């Protein structure tokens, strides 16, 4: 029985731990924070409950496949509800489109906006489904070891889709700017601009319109809790408040960790902490990727988040509400091309208490606001306040109601918190973007090339950002560890 030390307790670490324990290893998770879940931690305050990170439960099939590997179903651990509407997108005051829970209904909304667009949407979705079947059912479950993993009969037929972009494809078919924004929105989860994301990633549109948006009762944290319970049943030990300060390497092999100043011996180390940070726990000569390497990479955005308790029910919003009433292109340039605090940011607001009474006291509303930002910006309290005021002004105008005076409390979370809480590179929120040059075998590797028995998982490695990819990353690395042992 091998002793495996897992650094971090995000989705990827938790998933990998389940597979490794199932394979008969003695697995211990070491998490620096007081609570588990990593970016998917939970905040509880004055009777309100907030998911601090992920709020969109997409690709339910990936979660089912994960639990099936252990003879279980998601419903053994948490209750899921399909949201209808899935979300609402505002383009101006009182001007919005609602995305409902079936393609039929979505086609009807498109047709209303732009006659003839529903036919184009159906055609677009045929390709999106085909890509979903190739990518999410197969390709993403390959460990990114060799470029040949991407060479299949099906991908060869679609080679052109790796060299055109989602943005180009959408604009070829649609002219209505609102429909364009809605169709470009799903790839934002991959961390790059739609104009830098290969067309093949239109599978995200199938995840959105074809599969729909779900809400786990009590929030995304109930998924963390579910996987934790599974892990513990499989024999995984979870230790919190354990800051790993160093990875010990002897004769080229990982042999231990220093946690809170104490040495712990182990056979194998798997880090689900951010890849860049994990390498800083090694001596310089044992790191695979240089400062320059990380500096040149396209990181997914960071974010300014507010978790707000409101002393009333908020009107004219849905569980997920997007505010695309300003120039999308300009804001994305301020994230990727000339990083700065945006002049007029797009933002996202979530009101989970619209569907889930467990997350706010009766008659009150839990609100989460998210502004995407370039990683590495200067983050000071004054700017947080300024941006809260900015978006609340717009929120009040667009939804035609007063909300500011009903704020019971607000907590913010931004670049400095991502850095201190998660050791995140430049305070990125969700890892390394999925651009063409940062796809599959071109991403940082699951296995260290320099240190034997040292492995990596999570959103900076394969397959990429998001909760479903984190679960897949955990499975991939566990498979690689088992293969190495043979």
Ligand X SMILES: Cc1cc2nc3c(=O)[nH]c(=O)nc-3n(C[C@H](O)[C@H](O)[C@H](O)COP(=O)(O)OP(=O)(O)OC[C@H]3O[C@@H](n4cnc5c(N)ncnc54)[C@H](O)[C@@H]3O)c2cc1C
Q: What's the start-to-end Cα distance of the chain, in Å?
A: 13
Nearer to ligand X, 226 or 466 (CB): 466
Binding pattern to ligand X, positions 334-373, x when CB under 6 A? ------------------------------------x---
Q: Judged by CB under 6 A, which of 5, 6, 12, 85 binds ligand X?
A: 12
Q: Which one of the spans 199-207, 358-366, 393-401, 460-468 is the region binding ligand X (CB under 6 A)?
A: 460-468
Q: Which is nearer to ligand X, 13 or 321 (CB)?
A: 13
Return the residue of 6, 19, 21, 31 that touches ligand X, per CB under 6 A: 31
Cα–Cα distance measured from residue 290 to residue 279, given in angstroms and rounded to the nearest whole number: 10
CA 210 – CA 202 distance, rounded (Å): 12
Q: How far is the CB of 153 from ligand X (least distance, A)?
A: 30
Determine, following the binding rule CB under 6 A, whether residue 277 of this chain makes contact with ligand X: yes
Binder to ligand X among 5, 117, 466, 481 (CB under 6 A)?
466
State which of residues 5, 20, 38, 142 lies at the interface with ligand X (CB under 6 A): 38
Number of residues engaging ligand X in binding (CB under 6 A): 38
Q: In whole angstroms, how close is the CB of 111 to ligand X at the nearest point?
A: 28
Question: Taking the complex as a whole, how short is the minimal distance between the CB of residue 473 and ligand X, in angstroms?
Answer: 7
Q: Is 22 in the site for ligand X (CB under 6 A)?
A: no
- 54 contributes a contact to ligand X by CB under 6 A: yes
Among 22, 42, 53, 255, binds ligand X (CB under 6 A): 53
According to the binding rule CB under 6 A, does residue 243 interact with ligand X? yes
- Stretch touching ligand X by CB under 6 A, among 153-161, 237-245, 357-365, 446-454: 237-245
CA distance 420 to 441: 30
140, 349, 403, 429: which one binds ligand X (CB under 6 A): 429
Comparing C-alpha atoms, which of 214, 222, 212 is closest to residue 358?
A: 222
In this chain, which of 128, 254, 273, 440 binds ligand X, going by CB under 6 A?
A: 273
**Site for ligand X (CB under 6 A): which residue of 209, 430, 455, 456?**
430
Q: What residue ranges bind ligand X (CB under 6 A)?
A: 7-13, 30-33, 38-40, 53-56, 242-244, 272-273, 277, 303, 305, 370, 422-423, 429-431, 458-459, 465-467, 470
């Amino acid at each position: 029985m091998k002793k495996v030390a897992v650094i971090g307790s995000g989705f990827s670490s938790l998933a990998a731990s389940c597979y490794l324990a199932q394979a008969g290893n003695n697995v211990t998770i070491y998490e620096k924070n007081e609570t588990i879940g990593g970016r998917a931690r939970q905040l509880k305050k004055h009777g309100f409950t907030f998911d601090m990170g992920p709020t969109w439960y997409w690709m339910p099939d990936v979660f089912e496949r994960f639990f099936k590997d252990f003879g279980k179903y998601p419903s053994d651990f948490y209750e899921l509800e399909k949201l209808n509407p899935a979300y609402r997108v505002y383009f101006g005051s009182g001007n919005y489109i609602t995305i409902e829970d079936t393609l039929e209904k979505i086609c009807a909304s498109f047709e209303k906006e732009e006659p003839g667009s529903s036919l184009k949407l159906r055609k677009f979705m045929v390709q999106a489904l085909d890509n979903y079947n190739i990518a999410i059912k197969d390709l993403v479950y390959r460990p990114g070891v060799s470029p040949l993993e991407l060479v299949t009969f099906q991908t060869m037929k679609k080679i052109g889709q790796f060299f055109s972009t989602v943005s180009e494809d959408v604009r070829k078919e649609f002219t209505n700017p609102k429909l364009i924004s809605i169709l470009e929105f799903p790839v934002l989860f991959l961390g790059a601009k739609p104009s830098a994301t290969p067309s093949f990633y239109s599978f995200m549109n199938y995840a959105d319109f074809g599969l729909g948006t779900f809400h786990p009762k009590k929030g995304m944290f109930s998924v963390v809790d579910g996987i934790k319970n599974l892990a513990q049943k499989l024999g995984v030990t979870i230790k919190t408040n354990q800051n790993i300060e160093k990875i010990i390497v002897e004769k080229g092999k990982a042999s231990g960790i220093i946690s809170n100043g104490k040495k712990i011996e182990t056979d194998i180390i798997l880090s689900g902490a951010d890849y860049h940070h994990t390498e800083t726990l090694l001596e310089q000569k044992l790191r695979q990727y240089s400062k320059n390497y990380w500096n040149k990479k396209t990181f997914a955005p960071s974010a300014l988040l507010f978790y707000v308790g409101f002393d009333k029910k908020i009107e004219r919003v849905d569980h997920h509400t997007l505010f695309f009433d300003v120039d999308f292109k300009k804001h994305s340039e301020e994230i990727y091309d000339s990083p700065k605090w945006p002049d007029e940011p797009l933002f996202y607001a979530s009101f989970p208490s619209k569907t889930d009474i467990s997350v706010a006291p009766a008659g009150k509303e839990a609100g989460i606001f998210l502004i995407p930002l370039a990683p590495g910006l200067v983050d000071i309290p004054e700017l947080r306040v300024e941006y809260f005021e900015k978006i609340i002004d717009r929120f009040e105008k667009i939804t035609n109601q007063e909300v500011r005076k009903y704020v019971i409390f607000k907590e913010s979370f931004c670049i400095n918190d991502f850095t201190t809480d998660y050791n995140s590179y430049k305070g990125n929120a969700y890892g390394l973007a999925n651009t063409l040059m940062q796809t599959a075998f071109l991403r940082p590797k699951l296995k260290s090339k320099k240190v034997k028995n040292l492995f990596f998982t999570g959103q900076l490695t394969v397959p990429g950002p998001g909760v479903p990819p984190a679960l897949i990353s955990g499975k991939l690395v566990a498979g690689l560890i088992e293969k190495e042992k043979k």
